[in-house]
Chain A
Amino acid sequence: MTALARRAFQPGELRRRAAAGDVKLWASLLILVWAAVFMIWQGLGFAISIGSVFAIWAILAVSLNLVVGYAGLLSVGHIGFFGIGAYAAAILTSNASYEQLRTEAIPTFAWPFFAALPVSIALVGVAAVVVGVVLNRFRDDIYVLVSFGFAIIAFNVFLNGRGLTRGAFGVHQIARPAIGGWELTGELEFLILLLVFLALTVAVSWLIVTSSFGRVLTAIREDEQAIEVFGYRATHYKLAIWVISAMLAGLAGALFASWTSFIDPNSFILLESVLLVSIVILGGLASIWGSLLGAMAFVLLEEGMRFLPFLPAEYVGQARQAVLGILLVLLMLFRPQGLVGRYRL
């Protein structure tokens, strides 16, 4: 036996590695292997659809982690920005000829997706400034409640602003993006587009959290009053990261609208926001990799439970939420920093 192997098999060493950061390694490996096995087992079509759902949740989770994990602002209103982005893109790309067939008409612009995308993101940014200025007046529990209120208001606007959103009818036939004359109608092409945007989101987030700005955010999370004494205006930092995070959620929303080609208010209910916060906590606060892992674990859980022989199909949705709930309780008990995070709530 080599010296290396001898050392690895010493009980103390194993204990040390198990107790040390290796939970991160094992959690990462487990989820990646699980994903790979699942995709190979179910075939390419399934892998593509899982990948697309994952990419959208991952963009949302990474963006929300900037606010919750790095700045310590527990917002459950993120889904509102996802919805605004989705509706903005849907309306801006909507086609007049289709709308004439419907009883409820909405304004039509028929913009190409890549023109609608930046405008949608900018609109989300404007909304985020307004909501952020209000939210900045609150802290801790009240902050959570007010963000909760925003999610509910946003949902009600989607549901009742029928002149703009068609209410419960939803917006149909949302255009797919086209690059030159090439329309991304294929699922694989769209997955690649989603992954490109996910990579961009990760890159932007990484640049933010490793900058001086990111370090100040973590200090605000730890003690807002103390960092102010050193000359930082915490409210400005909180508003800036809030708007950036919301705009990334808006990006996810626009992509989601184009991917599903149909949106209605049910995609943007408060529960989705709570699930999103759960994903962020599950993966690990203040860890970009954690949010990617959390999103992957969540999607695998969601899709994987369809194949459990003893679970009737109609209960899959509820069962998934129950399992996620139990996982969160277990994590808070035994690993409050999430699978790969460092920061504890």
Chain B
Amino acid sequence: MSGGDGSGGSDDVRVDLPLEEIGLSKHFHSWENLYTGQDGLALETIGVSKSFGAVKAVDRLTLAIPRKGMTSIVGPNGSGKSTLMNLLSGTLPLDGGLVVIDEVGLKVVKPYETPQHGLTRTFQEVRLFDQISVWDNIMVVLTERRPFAALLERSKPGHRQKARGILQSVGLWEKRDVMAQELSYGQRKLLEIGRAMALDVDTYLFDEPFAGLFPQMLERVKDLMKQIRDSGRTIVFVSHNMDIVRELSNRIIVLDSGQLLAEGDVEPVLGRPEVIEAYLGA
């Protein structure tokens, strides 16, 4: 983040804190630039780190994602996009720092608690429940969470109705009895997005939802994401496709080597020399 664009705050709230000491990114220059969004923040990371051996996949990363609308996360390969997604959803444990989901600060993100915080996700490599039916792939996320209550629960009409609605909206109703592993790649992507949609949460993380899709399927995924956005939810997605990033997102976060290179409105950020260099130099 380059200072001085005055996206929020004023000199009155400037606080001098030893940022490096509390683990904040070097890109986080002052509280002056602290971004709070129009509707508040869906997600924040404060000094979040993750290393794999000697490799710092995410390095003291501090960023903010506004509520509502779509925020895209871009960056060259190995810049830490997917690691960030995994840290936000608790799929990977944090080495340090804080994740703030819906204004609740978490030092440890437990994946099974993220829906309670209003968050769910899809994976970069599609991860369905392969050897159960398409129908059950949706039903399974709708039902009772507590084991003993789940033992006594049979599928309820409400669940079935919802699953039917989801499968119809992703165009897989006809395939409901097929095992998920028998679907085509594009259909698997759709089912995974449908499975996330089945959970009524405020924030959806989509890790490369467009990768490897044919144009027709791509449009379909775009439509689904717009549908989620238009219902007042927040979408955070990772993509390499700059045309889609420009088309869909209203805010962009650029990562490079696990650190924040830039964040802000899409066009100005993509026009910055350091962003262009990171892409062309990669």
Q: A residues touching B (Cβ–Cβ < 8 Å)?
A: 207-208, 210-213, 215-216, 218-219, 221-223, 225-234, 236-237, 240, 342-344
Distance in angstroms between the alpha carbons of A253 and B47 in the assembled complex: 56
Q: Is the CB of A226 within 8 A of B144?
A: no
B270 CB to closest chain A CB (Å) equals: 31
Residue pairs across A and B with Cβ atoms less than 8 A apart, 17 shown, are: A211-B154, A212-B153, A218-B129, A218-B132, A218-B136, A219-B129, A219-B136, A222-B128, A222-B131, A223-B128, A229-B89, A229-B115, A230-B120, A230-B140, A231-B141, A240-B147, A342-B131
**Which residues in chain B, 94-148, are within 8 Å of chain A measured between CB atoms?**
111-116, 120-121, 123, 127-132, 136-137, 139-141, 143-145, 147-148
Q: Is the CB of A228 within 8 A of B131?
A: no
Q: Which residues of B contact A229 (CB under 8 A)?
A: 89-91, 111-112, 114-115, 120-121
Q: Which residues of B contact A227 (CB under 8 A)?
A: 129, 140
Q: Is the CB of A215 within 8 A of B111?
A: no
Q: Is the CB of B130 within 8 A of A215?
A: no
Q: Nearest chain-A residue to B129 (Cβ)?
A: A222
Q: Is the CB of B112 within 8 A of A233?
A: yes
Q: Contacts A218-B136, A229-B120 given: A211-B112 contact, CB under 8 Å? A: no
* Given contact pairs A213-B153, A223-B130, A228-B111, a sample of 10 additional A-B residue pairs in the complex whose CB atoms are under 8 Å apart: A211-B150, A212-B155, A215-B132, A216-B150, A219-B137, A227-B140, A228-B90, A231-B199, A240-B151, A342-B179
Distance in angstroms between the alpha carbons of A154 and B142 in the assembled complex: 40
Q: Nearest chain-B residue to A239 (Cβ)?
A: B147
B152 at the interface (CB under 8 A from A): yes
Q: Is the CB of A212 within 8 A of B150?
A: yes
Q: Which residues of A contact B131 (CB under 8 A)?
A: 218, 221-222, 342-344
Distance in angstroms between the alpha carbons of A223 and B143 in the assembled complex: 17
Q: Nearest chain-A residue to B148 (Cβ)?
A: A240
B150 is contacted by which of A213, A222, A225 (Cβ under 8 Å)?
A213
Distance in angstroms between the alpha carbons of A219 and B199 in the assembled complex: 16
Q: Which residues of A contact B115 (CB under 8 A)?
A: 229-231
Q: Which residues of A contact B179 (CB under 8 A)?
A: 342
Distance in angstroms between the alpha carbons of A236 and B155 in the assembled complex: 21
Q: Which residues of B contact A211 (CB under 8 A)?
A: 150-154
The 4 A-B residue pairs with the shortest CB-CB distance, nearest first, are A212-B143, A222-B129, A231-B115, A213-B150
Distance in angstroms between the alpha carbons of A232 and B113 in the assembled complex: 8
Q: Which residues of A contact B91 (CB under 8 A)?
A: 225, 229
A209 CB to closest chain B CB (Å) equals: 11
Distance in angstroms between the alpha carbons of A139 and B150 in the assembled complex: 24
Q: Is the CB of A230 within 8 A of B199?
A: yes
Q: Which residues of B contact A221 (CB under 8 A)?
A: 131
Q: Which residues of A contact B151 (CB under 8 A)?
A: 207-208, 211-213, 240
A170 CB to closest chain B CB (Å) equals: 37
B104 CB to closest chain A CB (Å) equals: 15
Distance in angstroms between the alpha carbons of A344 and B130 in the assembled complex: 11
A284 CB to closest chain B CB (Å) equals: 13
Q: Is the CB of B112 within 8 A of A228?
A: yes
A133 CB to closest chain B CB (Å) equals: 15
